[in-house]
Amino acid sequence: MNLDAHDSVRPILWRDGALWLIDQRLLPHRNEQVVCRDVGTVAEAIRNMTVRGAPAIGIAAAYGVVLAARDRFDAAPGSWREDIEEDLQTLAGTRPTAVNLFWAINRMRTAIADCTGGPGVRLLEEARAIHEADIADNRRMGQLGAALIETPCAVLTHCNAGSLATGGFGTALGVIRAGYVTDRIRRVYADETRPWLQGARLTAWELLEDRIPVTLVAEGAGAYLMKQGEVGWLIVGSDRIAANGDVANKIGTYGAAIIARHHGVKVMVVAPTSTIDMSTPDGGAIPIETRREEELLALAGQGIAAPGARAWNPVFDVTPAGLVDAIVTEKGVVLAPNATRMAALMKS
């Protein structure tokens, strides 16, 4: 199984003492990078969706802590550990739903406490370890998820949970990569995913970059597509999974899961255990980010709605565990997830 032939996209790089990020706002027409040399630039890149996707946000934040520590130590070597807490809070305030962000910040906070003297190489080693483990975990999840597809079929995915949303390889698209290579996946359909069009701009772009054919569908076409009987699985990522297996993901996932259940299409959620928040009992306790009305009322800066119209723009929804057939993590697979099975996974 030659996965390397279909795994070329890397959205996050540490080079020359700075963080380099593919600017995902410009894809697919321009592939350019933003260079972050301080924590403020990293925070803004997370906030404005230069970098997006729960695992990628966590990785970017970890490197942001490295930059913050360097600057704080240069400014005040004796108090940098205390001073950096302000920067950690700035990073934590960028996106409220993606739990990987807080997981990564807490892991870097522990590394800060372990530093003797200055931050030196310790924090960079920790950020790199988070980054490298994410890619390795994604590959493991890809194999576990693909193995669930017993009968070759078409699959549908929503939003972008690929290399661009992670350190590399992807979660949902990692399964799709592995399934494509092993001939378990015959065709890939991608929802366009309004209002940011992550499916049209990002999922389609990276699959084509890695020579995996993709067919784009409007979200309103999903039900009719599933009715045709070709789609066997809806495969998505997640930004936070509650202790009972409820899943927060890009807005529209809940509706797609309801439609999938009606048509006998199975639902697979693919995410690392860093996305599972055992302190959140169920989906009702997950904070759901609401973004600016303009994102829904305009497209690429061009107004598309009747002047004076208002917009409601939640960017995530919650799919109840009862609509999920499998949660795939690097630790293993949870079938028909519930609180007991999720707890067992996290203790393993």
Rounded CA gap, 20 and 203, in Å?
20
Q: Which portions of the chain are predicted below pLDDT 70?
A: 1
CA-nearest of 172, 202, 193, 143 to 9 is 202
Rounded CA gap, 305 and 119, in Å?
50
CB 116 within 8 A of CB 73: no
Phi–psi pair at 300, nearest 5 degrees: 55, 40
Rounded CA gap, 186 and 268, in Å?
17
Q: Which domains does the chain have, with CATH numbers?
A: 3-134 (1.20.120.420), 135-347 (3.40.50.10470)
| Neighbour tally for 87: CB within 10 Å | 22
Q: Which residues are catalytic?
A: 239
pTM of the model: 0.93
pLDDT the model gives residue 3? 81
pLDDT the model gives residue 97? 86
* Residue 220, H or E segment: none
| Neighbour tally for 114: CB within 10 Å | 9
Structure tokens that stand for 80 in this block: 């940098």
pLDDT the model gives residue 1? 62
Rounded CA gap, 154 and 98, in Å?
29
CB 250 within 8 A of CB 315: yes
Residue type, 150: E
Rounded CA gap, 135 and 132, in Å?
5
End-to-end CA distance of the chain, in Å? 28
